[in-house]
Amino acid sequence: MLLEIKSLSASYGSIKALFDVNIEVAEGELVTLVGANGAGKTTIMKVISGIQRASGGSVEFAGKNITRLAAEKRVRLGISQVPEGRQLFTPMSVHDNLCLGAFTRNDANTKCDLDEIYEQFPILFERKDQPAGTLSGGEQQMVAIGRALMARPKLLLLDEPSMGLSPLLVDQTFATIKKLAKQGTTIFLVEQNAYMALSIADRGYVLEGGHTTISGTGDELMSDERVKNAYLGV
């Protein structure tokens, strides 16, 4: 397993946000976690990337226990997160945002090779000297994904990539995610848009009240009555 989360818990002060969360992601897989607003999806992401501390359980990455490792060190191990709400360095240029994504690579300063990113997202090439904050929501999402990819991650964490985007842009963003998965990137995707997420995922988990309840392949979950009723609106 590339990522293995075992009976993980986390809290904000005295409020328990997560308990007994169990998730596995194998290399090359696209795994999604769906759940309602406030179920703790973003907290799980923050615990995996190290922004939020776990209060119990363990997070293992490529066989190494990283539960107590600092966030910046996890990036060096190969975990890259596209945070909720994109979190760009808004006053800095698109180019600088992308280059900072390669911060942990030793060749970052001399060789900020953006060709691959610009090939993936041609519009960003046109915007490369603009402050990232002046881009449209969809373009900003591309910058956020591009920035995360610049670290050449083994595992890409995507937190609510569809948030705040128009339906057309949501389709585009999911097409990009699908393409990245096809190219072999291991992806762990957290989404409120359960239908979209499950339709492209190899496997999925459902998070309810801070706790993983149902799991299965994307198709299994899409045809599961409980999931249908609660999250797919059918």
Partner 1 sequence: MSAQFLQFLFSGITVGAIYALVGVGFSVIYNSSNVINFAQGEFVMIGGMATVFLSAAGVPLPLAIILAVLAAVIIGYLVEKLAIEPAKGSSVVNLIIITIGVSIFLRGLAQVVFDRNFHSLKAFSGTEPIQIAGASITTQSLWVIGGLVIATLVLGWFFNRTLTGKAMLATSYNKDAAKLVGINTGRILQLSFMIAAFLGAVSGILIAPIALTYANVGVMLGLKGFCAAMVGGLGNPMAAIAGGLLVGVAEALTAGYLSSAYKDAVAFIIILLVLFFMPSGLFGRKEVDKV
Which of these ranges, 33-41, 140-148, 203-211, 212-220, lies near partner 1 under the rule CB under 8 A? Answer: 140-148
Residues 6+ apart with CB under 8 A from 160: 41, 42, 84, 85, 190, 191, 192
85 and 42 Cβ atoms separated by less than 8 Å: no
- The residue from 75, 124, 187, 221 that contacts partner 1 (CB under 8 A) is 75
123 near partner 1 (CB under 8 A): no
**Member of 38, 65, 68, 70 binding partner 1 (CB under 8 A):** 70
Q: Which amino acid is residue 223, in one-letter code?
A: S
* 22 vs 7: CA distance, rounded Å: 5
The window from 57-65, 88-96, 185-193, 194-202 that contacts partner 1 (CB under 8 A) reads 88-96
Instruction: Tell me how far, at minimum, the Cβ of 107 lies from partner 1, in Å.
Output: 11
Return d(Cα 200, Cα 169) in angstroms, integer. 16
Answer positive or negative: Cα dihedral of 69, 71, 73, 74: positive
Q: In this complex, which beta carbon is closest to partner 1, that of residue 62 or of residue 230?
A: 62
- Window 27 to 66, contacts with partner 1 (CB under 8 A): 49-51
Q: Return the half-sphere exposure (C-beta side, CA atoms, 13 A cut-off) of residue 5.
A: 24
Comparison of 138 and 209: residue with beta carbon closer to partner 1: 138
Interface residues with partner 1 (CB under 8 A)? 49-51, 70-73, 75-76, 80-81, 83, 87-92, 96, 99-101, 103-104, 108-109, 131, 133-137, 140, 147-148, 151, 164
